[in-house]
Amino acid sequence: MARGWLRRKRGATLFCWRNAEGKERSRTIGPADMSGKTAWATVGELGLDKLTANTDPRHITFGELAKKYLAEHRFNKHSTKKWQTRIINKVLLPKWSDYIVTELNAKELRQWLLGFHISDVTRDRYRHVMSHLIQWGISEELLPQYLRGFDGTFQSANPCTRVKGNGFSQHSGYEALALDPEDSIALLSEIDGKTGEYELMLLVATCGLRISEALGLKWRDILWDKALISIRQTFVQDTLQEGGKTKLSGTRVEVPRLVLDVLASWREQTLYAGDDDFVFASYKLHGKQPRAATSLNRDYVRPAAIRAGILIERDGKLYSQDGAKIARFGFHNLGRHSLATFLMDEQENPAVVQAILRHSKMDMTLYYSHSSKKAKRAAVENYAKRITPDAMRGQVRVQYSQAVN
């Protein structure tokens, strides 16, 4: 499977490969200063690439495996293929392209990943993409499943499974800012757009829709008589994708009647009101595709939050009213995080909240719900009253007053 590799040695460029027995062979093809493109063209002209046609699959290079993976693997979503391709081409291939996959060393791989000055989550994502790619090669029988280790025992042929420990985490520690109803009202009142911006944000805020789902909506997806929205497609990274983010996400979504009235009014105003038109179509693109989430967030959501006093901008960075630095703020804060927090604070049945957000697991619903400041204050005040006798409360206040004076 391996196509071979180039080596510069003693003023010459060599084409190297392994034969059917796994032994390395080489042949001089030109001077050391010849370009890679010219060298590979020469390999083809001399027919040297045919020498590698029947080599042991265990000698496939990471670059060859990556090329087959991107060409043949069936990705669930175009957006997934897009970000994985970016990591493979820009991060993994520059380092590992010419390495034989079965000769990759877990210790060397771990040290290389730890050399990046990035978050633990991003580092783990790089490791995950590389691991998934190699595991695909194993499932396609391009690679052996096990290899004999230095101690004579067998271990997985995927070295990424042994890259663990400090520096690798799937949890960022990031806690999203959830808005109180009063803050949501203030933000929505600051939306000054006239081409569906308010209607879009109200829909996201009240229904638990992801912004990709809301932007993918067409008028035929709104079931007016049943007060439901059917999620048939999403708009992610300027690409339309069939279905929802997950299987459960593709279900129908409950829509408040007052929001339906707002949408009906918007349909009377928009230039794109046909059943097969996007509800939030791009005027710049003549309705051919929806608005872009990134520009909507930049031009409307964040400025509105700043004008409403929800966010404070200082030296180009955003902070909450409490002074905490805000790394991200957008539709997810206005919608799913705030909605989940409000419903849980209102003692709504957690199963109902899970159904509204269309989460497959309850722990994800709990992750989306954040205790509001009012709820936390009420909880500690209530507990303090429960453990402090009525007669003692007055004494505590007197003692505190005397201590201050």
Contact, 372 vs 180, CB < 8 A?
yes
Q: Are 144 and 58 in contact (CB under 8 A)?
A: yes
DSSP 176-223: PPPPPHHHHHHHHHT---SSSHHHHHHHHHHH---HHHHHT-BGGGEE
DSSP state letters, 212-266: HHHHT-BGGGEEGGGTEEE--EEEETTEEEES-SSTGGGSEEE--HHHHHHHHHH
DSSP lists the bridge partners of residue 229 as 222, 253
Region 159-169 average pLDDT:
87
Task: Encode pLDDT of 170-214 as tens digits.
Answer: 665 567 888 889 999 999 999 987 899 999 999 999 998 999 999
C-beta separation of 147 from 154 below 8 A: yes
CA 204 centroid distance within chain: 19
User: What local confidence, expressed as pLDDT, does residue 172 receive?
Assistant: 55
Report how far apart, in Å, the C-alpha atoms of 188 and of each of 64, 120, 199, 200, 389 are.
51, 35, 10, 10, 44
> Going by C-beta distance under 8 Å and a sequence separation of 6 or more, which residues neighbour residue 32?
8, 9, 10, 11, 12, 13
Q: For the chain, what are the domain ranges? A: 5-55, 62-162, 181-338, 375-404
Same fold across 62-162 and 181-338: no
Query: Of 43-52, 193-202, 268-277, 322-331, which range is least confident?
Result: 43-52
CATH number 3.40.50.300 given to 181-338: no
Query: Distance between CA atoms of 361 and 93, rounded to whole angstroms?
Result: 35
12 CB neighbour count, 10 Å cutoff: 15
Pick one of 3.40.50.1000, 1.10.150.130, 2.60.40.2220, 2.30.30.100 as the CATH number of 62-162.
1.10.150.130
Q: Is 54's pLDDT higher than 70?
A: no
Residue 373 to residue 353: CA distance in whole angstroms: 20
For the residues 373-397, what does the mean pLDDT come to?
66
| Residue with token string 């805020």 | 205
Q: Is the pTM of this model over 0.75?
A: no
Q: What is the pLDDT of residues 259-318, one digit of tens each?
A: 999 999 999 999 999 999 999 999 999 999 999 999 999 999 999 999 999 999 998 889
